[in-house]
Structure 1
């Protein structure tokens, strides 16, 4: 009769060996397999049959060529090797429910009625529960790494662009979701939820910048659902700002205004209010033709910047930190473009350009120049050649990495230059704008 390699027996005391306890606590599947092989005489094939893996996979774990990080792998190992509850909890998993467990009757007393009740806790059982309270599949170092990662993404965003960064952010968002399927103490779990909300919010922002407004709305709703569980008003306000941005570029200016106003209410005067006032309210009001509203929103953004510590340079557009003064002026210029006030556009755009030209923010340099080009066309003495020159310079800078705002503003500039379309530079500007709508090296 052929021997079944999966019939090996793991003694109950095995799970309390110091080496095994250490391996479980570290969630080191490689070490667990190695110790089962060593002390229970299990073969690679036998372990694989028990946990539902091929022998080649078990070999990779034993040789250190594969490391387990997925929650479902931990569950398969725990179930296949029949971990007792104390071992499951050390492994970061919930104990099994023992359905139908009956209370053990006490001995009949001569002075008490015959009653049944559950066994009292032993000191050891209490200790196991205490140990489980601190069990987590997430270390403080992992949480700190996510914070660094989000900061790095914000810094790299205007250099790498959404097409390159979105897959990386999505991978981390899925990683956080996998971690949330595990076990953590409440404070760590709240931190994971916050990280998940930020990553979903960033994915929504990136979707706006690639013109995928439906996807952006879905990501923002996901982020708001997460934030609602946490009660973090500032993060909720940031997401509302991204919803406002989405509707602005989708052409729904009243909705953009309403999202920005709701964000301001949530932010309650915090640093997030700056972005909501100038990028949300002022720009939407500009499209709606509300001159007084734009002036008020821009003025409030500058006043808020005096009350909060803000960056000194051109702050990253996707950052969760408050807007810098330079980014306020750049957005103010755009709001006044919509109102057709070239003097105010130049007033703000000239200030923004001085900072943008010294920063790595390629998109900011491009957008400020597009606003200045538009101002040249709106003035009493239009200069279409200089406007086209500025526009071509801007679009050439962003040609390898355009975003929806640049595409939209370039098309608007081209439309405004049409009275002078016989000028060669204006034709060249139109060609440069059309090229932005094409994927690299081809046509749609």
Structure 2
């Protein structure tokens, strides 16, 4: 968020008068509330990827009925879709439930269920959060061997590469289909070691699948498959994988603007990582605690967590890192994460001078990450770096460079099947909204709005 743009506090929509407005899908009512709290039509348009004229028309009485536009506005304003009667439609839902936003009580119950599983107890509440499947068509072997386990491992590796290169939308359907088959092998006969290895491979696959759902914006399905992965990892007594899954649950919470909840998940992950004696996982958890603290505006905590992450990475043996803990060991990865942290600090800082200082650091880290990156670094990660670079160049008044990079990154994002990539385009638009006198910035905002709408349609097709 630029210094000139009023803040939207986490949970700002949780007011009785706004809930009634949202239930009616009264977008004009939402915009009028924002105006009363200091937002101009231009700033609202930048945040929701609309032109000032479109915002004006809505305020004058034009109704918003298009489902994808309502979804875009809800996501841009961080309004839970369920409050507007919108379900996540980026992919088909879990077989048992429609996707729904969590209430405060739901969140409390889910966090309690995660803690229960993390400490070794799969109670009835935890079982409520697991995905459900119908019976499949293909028969699984009645007796499984190491080759069956390796099939699951191989599919995990291949689909993880697809997810990283093209976005979660390119992998999620194939992954869920295969998992529906592979999970039934858990009931087949096997020796104890093979059965444990199968649980581990299924846990890793389910965690990868949950991350793909997270990437396309379906946090409900992400949560269920990650809970499933945590149950399997604990059942196999594999604390490193449990730790990795808790990291991903923390990122789901952050995507839903719940940094305090995220810290609870990450701290549970620390306990599992320490049990595993896995410095690489400990490092990743510290690095992501820094991101959650950045969302809370706690700079001293951010610095401490980043320093701890660097220390733990120095202790890790890269040759012995598990396949689910590869993050930050590819050149550019950790630098890119630091760029994301300082981008968040710049977004949430209330002091304009501090915001600019953080933005300058985000520019430096994102450019360094791109310079360090080779072809082995996921394409999606490099695209995210460029989004951060463009956003913060605009924040620091390096307008021409920021706009030039933004135009190129729009095309990159449209070629990804990533809901996170699409949503991050709104950050560029928000930064550009502070440059309302610049015609190139205005053109960029129109291009961003069009590109984001087109990409959302492609993702939900």
- State the TM bucket, normalised to the shorter chain: 0.5 to 0.7
The structural deviation recorded for 1:442 is 9.7
**Aligned in 2, Cα 1:367/1:322: closer, same or farther, shift over 3 Å?**
closer
Equivalent residue, structure 2, for 1:211:
217
| Counterpart secondary structure, 2:171 | helix
Change (3 A) 1:309 1:431: farther
Counterparts of 2:335 and 2:460 in 1: how far apart (Å)?
A: 36
1:363 alignment counterpart = 380
Corresponding residue of 1:238: 244
- Classify the secondary structure of the residue corresponding to 1:215: helix
Q: 1:283 to 1:144 in 2, by over 3 A?
A: same
Alpha carbons 1:198, 1:223 under 8 Å: kept: yes
Give distance in 2, aligned partners of 1:443 and 1:188: 39
* Runs of 5+ consecutive residues of structure 2 not aligned to the other structure: 1-136, 347-357
TM-score, normalised relative to structure 1: 0.64
Per-residue deviation at 1:248? 0.8
Distance change in 2, residues 1:335/1:308 (3 Å): same
Cα distance in structure 2, aligned partners of 1:404 and 1:164: 11
Q: SS at 2:332's partner residue?
A: helix
Distance 1:273 1:442 in 2: 34
In structure 2, which of residues 275, 281, 300 is the aligned counterpart of residue 272 of structure 1? Answer: 281
Distance across 1 between alignment mates of 2:460 and 2:192: 51
SS in 1 for 2:257: coil
The CA deviation at 1:223 is 1.3
| Match status 1:436 vs 2:452 | yes
Q: 1:351 aligns with which of 358, 362, 368?
A: 368
Query: What residue is the counterpart of 1:54 in the other structure?
Result: none
Equivalent of 1:423 in 438, 443, 448: 438
Q: Is the 8 A contact 1:333 1:344 kept in 2?
A: yes
- Corresponding residue for residue 409 of structure 1: 424
Structure with the larger RCO, 1 or 2 (CA within 8 Å, 6+ apart): 2
- In 2, Cα distance between equivalents of 1:140 and 1:263: 29
Q: Distance in 2 between matches of 1:419 and 1:254?
A: 30
The alpha carbon displacement at 1:408 in A equals 2.6
Q: Which residue of 2 aligns with 1:321?
A: 326
Q: Secondary structure at the match of 2:144?
A: coil
Going from structure 1 to structure 2, the CA distance change for 1:405 and 1:277 (only over 3 Å counts) comes to farther
Hey, what's the Cα distance between the residues in 1 that align with 2:181 and 2:305?
A: 39
Residue 145 of structure 1 deviates from its aligned partner by 2.8
Over 3 Å counting, the alpha-carbon distance change for 1:160 and 1:370 in structure 2 is: closer
CA contact (8 A) 2:166 2:417 kept: no
The Cα RMSD (Å) is 2.7
- Unaligned ranges ≥5, structure 1: 1-67, 75-91, 93-136
1:376-415 counterparts in 2 under 5 A?
376-379=393-396, 382-415=397-430
Shift of 1:160: 3.3
Which is greater in Rg? 1
Question: How far off its partner does 1:343 sit?
Answer: 3.1
C-alpha distance after superposition, 1:244-294 (max 9, x if no partner): 11111111111112211221221115111222222x211111111011111
CA shift, 1:418, in A, is: 0.6
CA distance in structure 1 between the aligned counterparts of 2:436 and 2:336, rounded to whole angstroms:
28
**Is 1:335–2:333 an aligned residue pair?**
no
Cα distance change on mapping 1:236 and 1:387 into 2, 3 Å: same
Q: TM-score, normalised by structure 2?
A: 0.61
Shift of 1:443: 8.9
In structure 2, the CA distance between the partners of 1:367 and 1:442, relative to structure 1 (3 Å rule), is closer
CA–CA separation in structure 2 for the residues paired with 1:179 and 1:266: 26
Q: 1:374 to 1:322 in 2, by over 3 A?
A: closer
> Equivalents in 1 of 2:447, 2:374: separation in Å?
21
Alpha-carbon distance between aligned partners in 2 of 1:255 and 1:153, rounded to the nearest angstrom = 29
Q: Distance in 2 between matches of 1:342 and 1:390?
A: 16
For 1:180-195, what aligned pairs fall within 5 Å after superposition?
180-195=186-201
359-368 or 229-238, which deviates more: 359-368
**Inter-partner Cα distance in structure 2 for 1:364 and 1:331:** 9
